[in-house]
Amino acid sequence: MRRSTVRNVSLAAVAATVLSVGAAAPPTTGSTAPVKVPVAVGYGGAVASVDADASAAGISVLRAGGNAVDAAVATAAALGVTEPYSAGIGGGGYFVYYDAGTREVHTIDGRETAPRSADASLFLENGRPIPFAEAMTSGLGVGTPGTPATWEAALDAWGTKSLRRLLEPAERLARDGFTVDATFRAQTQANEARFRDFPATAELFLPGGQLPVVGSAFKNPDLARTYEKLGRQGTQALYRGGLARDIVRTVQDPPVREGATRIVRPGDLTVRDLAGYRTERQRPTKISYRGLDVYGMAPSSSGGTTVGEALNILEGSDLSAASPEAYLHRYIEASRIAFADRGRWVGDPAFEDVPVRGLLSQRFADSRACLIKDDSVLTSPLAPGDPSDPRPCAPGGTAAPTTYEGENTTHLTASDKWGNVVAYTLTIESTGGSGITVPGRGFLLNNELTDFSFAPADPAVHDPNLPGPGKRPRSSMSPTIVLDDHARPVLALGSPGGATIITTVLQTLTNVLDRDLPLVEAIAAPRASQRNQPTTELEPALYDSPSRARLEALGHAFRLNPEIGAATGIQRLPDGRWLAAAEKTRRGGGSAMVVRPAGRP
């Protein structure tokens, strides 16, 4: 067993990596984009996101005396402008907050909910599941948005600035425009066919009927007006009144262009569903790993329980001394087991009896860890264990496959000069969500209800993730905060990527805490993702490496995935500085900024 507390995460390597980098927030003027820098170190607080304009919005709030919660809301609102295919007020997410004053971690479940009319047959037609593509691009897949309510709940509980003030940077960005990059153009191009089938979407995202040009300024005056409305009237303006009626009208009668051949099913979201939406404040998940406390998001997310169980499984392995192949083997097998248990047990706790305590118990993890052998590979789909009866190496029951989840979520992390920390993951599900823009309002609606199981894998086994009235679909979003044995922050991180979010967060955590990689290198390291499937996904650097052949010799099977996740994180260094880190290349690279680079406290 390793030491009781983690070592000082390779400070020499960190210092070498960030020497003379420390990015602050450059001015944003018109279509001039701030430069993306993947790592920054300094004082006064930090923000990391996938987008430089969004990170700059958060830093501007910190410089004006706001705290980490204020900065997170401002950053999220800006991401709704510059990352509209990944997040926005038409979606939802999970907000994890560390309060430096009380040294406690709190969470907000801002997940979308199904209409009150929904039942287990929501995605069935003549007793059979409809095609996923038809569910994705429809009113049927749209859940009640939770993002605006999340902002309100976070600010009411812990914020210091008004929503109106915090929306101003995003409002300016939407009105004046941001610079189109290659990622934004590529994502638009990938959605071009379905965007053209919705006149409001085509008018906004295909200006003049053409794909946006890299380097041009992209403006969204409708969204600027919507933000201005929310700033004046509060987020309840989205849940009641004219904006709510516009959302309902769009869902119930999707505005499809004349002559389109696409099947676009209507949904049954109502003004009552919107008016009745509430966020949920719940206790975070918590496990101990290498003497540190790891906090995550409880169900309806499966992130906290699955990351936590996998870490508990790995607790008995010395990953620091393992060869690259032995490390990957253990990590892959722990992921496989944790996903097997996730599929059977995790759903919306308002509807399902989710055994969170059992899933996170070390006793249960040990009973599952004994399945891992150094010289062989488990077979997927692996059957789940029973947390209420954790018998060592028990064969388990019927396996539950991993449901598909859209990959274009986004994650931000923020901290402030007082030591508060936020890890916030938000989404509209698939890249471009439902593809349906609310006419005149400037934002896309989510397709989050497609995260439900369309039908049970085995009719004889209860599926906790079937649709239900007002139910939240299971998610893999995994905003995570790690504290030391004095309840002080060590690091916070999260990622987009659908079900690969869980493996991305798990691999990044073990890269930092076990393999001693600097956070920016832990984020950049090539990824593997096993989700209780016959094959494990590998990014090219691993797929083309000697490690692949050595692992295949053990029995592993792999398939290529060009890109997994797009993480961001922050770290509190022993000398009191904040380190912010983001992707170097994935999704065009991310943006890390601090209030005062390097300088003295």
Q: Which helix (H) or strand (E) holds 328?
A: helix 324-345
Determine phi and psi for 309, rounding to 5 degrees. -65, -45
pLDDT digits (tens, 9 = 90+) for 417-443: 999 999 999 999 999 999 999 999 999
Sign of the dihedral defined by the CA atoms of residues 564, 568, 572, 577, in that order: positive
Tokens of 520: 């920016």
Mean pLDDT to the nearest integer, 262-285:
97
Nearest Cα to Cα of residue 187 among 89, 50, 33, 52? 50
Nearest Cα to Cα of residue 468 among 119, 15, 77, 84? 119
Burial of 401 (0-12, 13-18, 19+ CB in 10 A): middle
Strand partners, 424: 95, 412
| pLDDT for the residue numbered 319 | 97
Tokens of 327: 């490390």
Q: Which helix (H) or strand (E) holds 226?
A: helix 221-233
- Asked which of 25-34, 148-157, 269-278, 518-527 is least confident by mean pLDDT, the reply is 25-34
The amino acid at residue 405 is E
| pLDDT for the residue numbered 402 | 66
The amino acid at residue 322 is A
Quickly count: other Cβ atoms within 10 Å of residue 64's Cβ: 12
Q: Distance of CA 159 to CAs 79, 101, 147, 169, 476, Å? A: 19, 13, 16, 17, 26
SS3 214: coil
Dist CA 367 CA 363 (whole Å): 6
Dist CA 304 CA 349 (whole Å): 14
Tokens of 505: 């967060």
Answer whether residue 16 shows pLDDT above 90: no
Q: Model-level pTM? A: 0.93
Answer whether residue 30 shows pLDDT above 70: no
Nearest Cα to Cα of residue 451 among 511, 507, 499? 499
Active-site residue 409, yes or no? yes
- Residue from 147, 409, 437, 503 carrying the catalytic annotation: 409
| pLDDT for the residue numbered 405 | 62
| pLDDT for the residue numbered 28 | 42
CATH class of 11-18+46-281+404-597: alpha beta
146 near 277, Cβ under 8 Å?
A: yes
pLDDT digits (tens, 9 = 90+) for 121-177: 999 999 999 999 999 999 999 999 999 999 999 999 999 999 999 999 999 999 999
pLDDT digits (tens, 9 = 90+) for 300-337: 999 999 999 999 999 999 999 999 999 999 999 999 99
Mean pLDDT to the nearest integer, 22-50:
75
Answer whether residue 345 shows pLDDT above 80: yes
pLDDT digits (tens, 9 = 90+) for 554-588: 999 999 999 999 999 999 999 999 999 999 999 99
In the chain, where are the structural domains located?
Answer: 11-18+46-281+404-597
